[in-house]
Amino acid sequence: MAKKIICESCGTVFPFEKAKDFTVCPVCNASFDDEENETSSIHDDELSFGDDIELSENDSFDEDKIDFWWYSIREPGEIWKGITFEDGNVSINCAKCGHFAGSAPYPIARTKDCLLIDPRFTIKCGHCGNELKNHIFSKRPADWVDPRKRDMWVKDYKNIPKCPICSSTKIHKISMTNKAASALVFGVLSAGHVSKTYKCDTCGAKF
């Protein structure tokens, strides 16, 4: 089983190899002053549902093998907006693409951060097609970002005008007077000239 370091203040799980030299948590900046060996042995103990619980071959606490994260648990009998959730349930995110994936049945066993879901339960992420094989769900990382917001950000980034020749974002708008002048010279609003709005400061291309 891969060793983990878990930030005690925000709960983010780091692979031991990556985090062993961290002095502070890169997510919440909490200090990692604890003795490393001590920290990992404590958390190794947490990575078990007890001797009575038999895991299937795909069930793994290994962060790389987690298929789904949980982010909220509805206890059996909980009432939400007038609906009674007799059996409770768990709201989940796909751990591969981060998108919301609906809900899973109430766990049959749990540790502080991990849930074991009935092995008969199957689900497939509607966004990326990731299929549930590992019935251990780990807690959604503290640095999780709603991918809908992330996608928006990526879209925004894509919308930043870039030079089509060299991809530089160091470009500037050609001034209106220049554009007006070329329109004047050519007499008509020649699309070829007027549509060239930017000049690249890196390679000099106009577009």
List of residues contacting Zn ion (CB under 5 A): 7, 9-10, 25, 27-28, 30, 94, 96-97, 125, 127-128, 130, 163, 165-166, 168, 200, 202-203, 205
Question: Left, alpha or beta for 60 (phi > 0: left; psi -120 to 50: alpha)?
Answer: beta
Report in angstroms how near the CB of residue 92 gets to Zn ion at its nearest: 10
- CB of 152 or CB of 180, closer to Zn ion: 152
How far apart are alpha carbons 85 and 62 in whole angstroms? 31
Cβ atoms of 29 and 17 within 8 Å: the answer is: no
- CB of 47 or CB of 94, closer to Zn ion: 94
123: which 2 tokens? 């689900």
Cβ atoms of 166 and 203 within 8 Å: the answer is: yes
Report in angstroms how near the CB of residue 200 gets to Zn ion at its nearest: 3
Report in angstroms how near the CB of residue 16 gets to Zn ion at its nearest: 15
- CB of 49 or CB of 139, closer to Zn ion: 139
> Position of tokens 């005008």?
161
Report in angstroms how near the CB of residue 133 gets to Zn ion at its nearest: 13
Pick from 74, 72, 73: which is nearest to 83 by CA? 74
- CB of 162 or CB of 179, closer to Zn ion: 162
Report in angstroms how near the CB of residue 10 gets to Zn ion at its nearest: 3
- CB of 123 or CB of 194, closer to Zn ion: 123
Q: Which residues pair with 8 in a beta bridge?
A: none
How far apart are alpha carbons 164 and 205 in whole angstroms? 8
